[in-house]
Amino acid sequence: MLNYMEENQIVTLSMNDGKANAVSHAFVDDMNRALDQAEGSAKAIIIEGMPGKFSAGFDLEEFKKGPEATSALVNKGGRMLHRIFTLPQPVIAAVTGHAIAAGAFMLLAADVRVGVDGQYKIGANESAIGMTLPRFASELIEYRVPRHQIDQVAIGAHLYGPNEAVAKGFIDEVVPAEQLAERTKAIAEQLAGYPGGGYAGNKHLFRAEYADRILASLG
């Protein structure tokens, strides 16, 4: 379930399926519909998870259907992440808990990532489950993760607590849980107040090469 709320041209998209916020076909469809609506009116977008979980990644039940089903979902999810990465509006992730694999890639695609303090993990675990990262994931990792950390993060499949995840490039700051909503709203309001198209233009300037490679890799 994706709840859409707009106040003063700031849209909050709340992910809460009561389970793990797995990235399924329905999840991607809901996110794209919400982004269609937000792009028309929002000056900033907040994407938040539910208590304890941001997103556990792709729906593994879909992967059990075979290579074609796996490829279809991965490419569909990759296009959603490309869209988040290239939105002209500021995108702020409110990291409420576990963000694994595609959940972690959503953080890499967002502009500002604020995590709650707590006992949860963030990371790309593909090596540990026998999968090779899709190109969109490697590009997002290259964009965000410090070069000397990539082997550990992407090849070693390490998972990190929130404070470690700051050093690895997955999130920008950690706040107490009771301050998360206030902090993400304050960031959204600040960025939404920037005049003209400078924010969008500079975002495109620095991300275009990565975004182009992501798009070219998607089936």
Report the pLDDT value the prediction gives residue 99, as an integer from 0 to 100: 98
CA 10 to chain centre: 18
pLDDT of residue 22: 96
Give the pLDDT confidence of 137-146 residue by residue, as tens digits. 999 999 999 9
For residue 178, the Cα-to-chain-centroid distance in whole angstroms is 21
Q: Count other Cβ atoms within 10 Å, centred on residue 156.
A: 14
First-to-last alpha carbon distance for the chain, in angstroms, is 27
Q: Confidence class of residue 40 from pLDDT cuts 50, 70 and 90?
A: confident
**Mean pLDDT computed over 149-171:** 97
Q: What pLDDT does residue 114 have?
A: 98
> In this predicted structure, what is the pLDDT of residue 34?
97
What pLDDT, in 10s, does the model give residues 43-70?
Answer: 999 999 999 999 999 998 999 999 999 9
Q: What is the mean pLDDT of residues 112-121?
A: 97
**Per-residue pLDDT at 79 exceeds 90:** yes
Q: pLDDT-derived band of residue 100, with 50, 70 and 90 as boundaries? A: very high
Contact 45, 90 (CB under 8 A): yes
b/e map of 108-134 (b: 16 or more CB within 10 Å)? bbbbbbbbbebebbbbbbbeeeebebb
Instruction: At 62, list the tokens.
Output: 């879909």
| Sequence spans of domains, the chain | 2-217
> Looking at the DSSP assignment, which residues form a beta bridge with residue 91?
45
pLDDT at 219 over 90: no
- For the entire predicted model, the pTM comes to 0.96
Instruction: Return the pLDDT at 196.
Output: 87
Mean pLDDT of the chain: 96
2-217 — its CATH code?
3.90.226.10
Query: Which residues, including other chains, have CB under 8 Å from residue 162's CB and lie 6 or more apart?
Result: 95, 115, 116, 117, 118, 120, 122, 171, 174
pLDDT over 70 percentage in the chain: 100
Which pLDDT score, from 0 to 100, does residue 1 have?
A: 84
Cα-based angle 38, 22, 87 (whole degrees, multiple of 5): 25
**Collapsing DSSP states into helix, strand and coil, what is residue 113?**
strand
Enter the tokens of residue 181: 């909503």
- pLDDT range class, residue 8, cuts 50, 70, 90: very high
